[in-house]
Amino acid sequence: MTPSSLITTVVFAPLVGAIIAGLFGRRIGNVASEAITTGLLLLAAVFSWMIFAQWTWGGLEPFTLEFLPFINIGDFQSNWSIRLDGLSAVMLVVVTSVSSLVHVYSWGYMSEDDSKPRFFAYLSLFTFAMLALVTAADFMQLFFGWEGVGLASYLLIGFWFKKPTANAAAIKAFVVNRVGDFGFALGIMTVYWMFGSIQFAEIFPRVSEFANTGWWFAGSWWHAVDLACALLFVGAMGKSAQFFLHTWLPDAMEGPTPVSALIHAATMVTAGVYMVCLLSPMFEYAPYAKQVVTLVGAVTALFAATVGLAQNDIKRVIAYSTCSQLGYMFFAAGVGAYQAAMFHLFTHAFFKALLFLGAGSVIHGMHHEQDMRKMGGLWKHLPITYGVMTIGTLAITGFGIPGLDLGFAGFYSKDTIIEAAFAAGQEMGGVAYFAFVVSVFAAGLTAFYSWRLAFMTFHGTPKWGHDGHEHEADDHASSAQIETHSEPLPDHDHGHDHKPHESPWSMLVPIMLLAVGALAAGYFFVDHFVGEEWKEFWRGAIFNGADNHVLEHAHHSPTWVKWAPLAVSAIGFAGAYYVYILREGMGAAIAARKGPLWTFLYNKWFFDELYEATFVRAAKFLGDLFWKGGDQKIIDGFGPDGVSAVSYAVGRAAGRAQTGYVYHYAFVMLLGVAGLLTYALVQWA
């Protein structure tokens, strides 16, 4: 097959599966719906790897396929297209690989759910929207995919719509992303205002022509490229859950665990990082916007890492880990190391999907318990899950030996980002050095909360024997789910033996395959992404300005910079081992004291409370003001309750004269005649 037919099949196969399962799922049944959607995703994944292999080793050149016009109004031209270059080749592999494994995993995880066709249709729709996004050749199709994954994520997060918390989480994700998307839309408008086009192929070569374009506003000169990039980055902040627009991400855990893996590992949350790297020709001419990206990314990495220290829900710990790792990717792009950002996106997809699906295996084996305080000692009962999650933990903590350049996937990508931040400090100054310091500190925190999760879940004294799963009635189970955000309990779980057990092979095989990626993806692809072959690999898909030598300088960082991540990770591991193994119960004692620092971190820096007190209550106040004051008192007061009320009263009064009795009408006629005669006599006199 030709590359064009391969990539066309990759993009549209998930859409075909979504249509079949979504429209005909009830007729063809659960098994057929699962088989069709999963088979098409596996086919897309195989073809994606074939395209990636041809791109990496076969000398495949970039190309764009145009299918049909989308919106053509005057100079505004947009077509349905598929673009293949280094960025899209990487994203095709990431999206289809994780999505196909999530489909296979869901066969076991969702086996007791009675809405499997709907679930698999949503998964495939999500994947199609993401593939449309990463292969877009202009901003309009990019926006289509951008909103498509937002819609699909809303449907997936709220999949269990009978849970009030799931509905609230879905609405929260949708609303917060709309805030970011407003900035994204303004950024697209700014780009069109500058270039008169939204086609990437027309915009990127001309960015240097508009490097000094702008206007005076409020006494300040606004650099147009900087403004456009900053506005576009606001969209990325929402989609990739960066600081200030991050609050939807932990609540997204209300969806089924396969959804968490799909959203957090390979699809929606990485869309913002991909977009910034795709727009590198613009960001290279937007120095202030790059500083904003660097600062926001560094603060997000620090914030999420600190919050992850105090969470007890196993999925929420991994969710904040995702938020922190996305911060790494963003500040890597902000300092100009776009290749390192994409490399971390690539490796992160494997070990983060592994951790999420591994957590789902734990939840399944623990009969849908998610609170790590009710686990412990599970390594004997879930040996395969324990083994692969240990690999994932080593990958996310970036374990590796700098001198030997040998380690797990995260070692190659995250260490490159840290070194790039240090190297960029010589050019960007304070912001890049701040990102470097934060990245090293956050690496230590990452090691602590990651090993905390491993130790609380798999080691120590078992805490699941008595109070972890004694749900004697559906009402008790439901209340426990609402309080702990756990997933719905299948009916067959009630009243049975709740001893932990290993997951079925349909769930274990995907996480074992992901473990291979978490173990080896960095080693095999480091040279292509950020090493000696990076220019040949990317082939212009990522643009570096003439003064951008960050990636080259990163490889010549001082020895202490190269060893710093391993040192802080070792400290984080030792701290977690001391608190949760050697002094088991120490962590619970610290939490029981509810000190100010623990309370601050446990409550996620009080962002939800702050937004509730400002935006939510303010919006409710304005709504009540316009509803009760404006609508009811003013509009209804002068309208339905005013003029119409007077008309109604007059009508009722006039209606009383219409009695229907003949003698009443005769009497009125006599009064009329008498009045007429009286008038005549007066006039004649």
What tens digit of pLDDT does each residue of 344-359 get? 999 999 999 999 999 9
**What is the 8-class DSSP label of residue 462?**
-
Q: How confident is the model at residue 394 (pLDDT cuts 50, 70, 90)?
A: very high
SS3 71: strand
d(CA 491, CA 478): 12
- Report whether 398 contacts 414 (CB < 8 A): yes
Mean pLDDT computed over 462-468: 66
Nearest CA-CA partner of 437 in 604, 607, 295: 295
Mean pLDDT computed over 673-685: 85
Q: How confident is the model at residue 266 (pLDDT cuts 50, 70, 90)?
A: low
What is the crossing angle of helices 268-278 and 314-334, to 10°? Answer: 0
Mean pLDDT computed over 211-234: 86
Average pLDDT, the chain: 88
Mean pLDDT computed over 57-72: 91
Q: How far from 646 is each of 592, 642, 652, 681, CA to CA, in Å?
A: 66, 6, 10, 39
The pLDDT of residue 488: 54
Tokens 């001893």 sit at which residue? 499
The pLDDT of residue 379: 92
The residues facing 216 across adjacent strands are: 221
Count the Cβ atoms, other than its own, within 10 Å of residue 643: 11
Q: 329-333, 441-445, 491-495, 541-545: which range is least confident on average?
A: 491-495
**pLDDT for 639 beyond 90:** no
Q: C-alpha 538: how far from its chain's center?
A: 26
Is the pTM value of this prediction over 0.85? yes
Nearest CA-CA partner of 286 in 345, 339, 223, 243: 223
**pLDDT for 678 beyond 50:** yes
- Higher-pLDDT residue of 284 and 267 is 284
The pLDDT of residue 211: 82
Q: How confident is the model at residue 551 (pLDDT cuts 50, 70, 90)?
A: very high
Token pair listed for 627: 């509803």
Q: How far from 90 is each of 56, 181, 655, CA to CA, in Å?
A: 10, 24, 79
Opening angle at CA 13, ends 50 and 260, nearest 5: 90
Nearest CA-CA partner of 106 in 263, 317, 262, 329: 262
**pLDDT for 589 beyond 80:** yes
Q: What is the DSSP string of 146-193?
A: HHHHHHHHHHHHTSSTTSHHHHHHHHHHHHHHHHHHHHHHHHHHHHHH
Nearest CA-CA partner of 90 in 273, 357, 297: 273
**pLDDT for 403 beyond 90:** no
Q: How confident is the model at residue 482 (pLDDT cuts 50, 70, 90)?
A: very low
Mean pLDDT computed over 575-600: 92
- Report whether 393 contacts 451 (CB < 8 A): yes
d(CA 228, CA 282): 9
Strand 400-401 and strand 220-223: the pairing is unpaired
Tokens 């300040």 sit at which residue? 220
- Report whether 245 contacts 237 (CB < 8 A): yes
**pLDDT for 649 beyond 60:** yes
Mean pLDDT computed over 270-294: 94
Q: How confident is the model at residue 75 (pLDDT cuts 50, 70, 90)?
A: confident
**pLDDT for 664 beyond 80:** no
Beta strands per DSSP E along 358-467: 400-401, 406-407
Mean pLDDT computed over 647-663: 79
The pLDDT of residue 478: 35
- Higher-pLDDT residue of 268 and 203 is 203
Strand 63-73 and strand 406-407: the pairing is unpaired
d(CA 367, CA 344): 33
- Report whether 373 contacts 456 (CB < 8 A): yes
The residues facing 83 across adjacent strands are: 64
Q: 89-98, 212-221, 498-507: which range is least confident on average?
A: 212-221
Q: 174-188, 257-271, 571-585, 664-678: which range is least confident on average?
A: 257-271
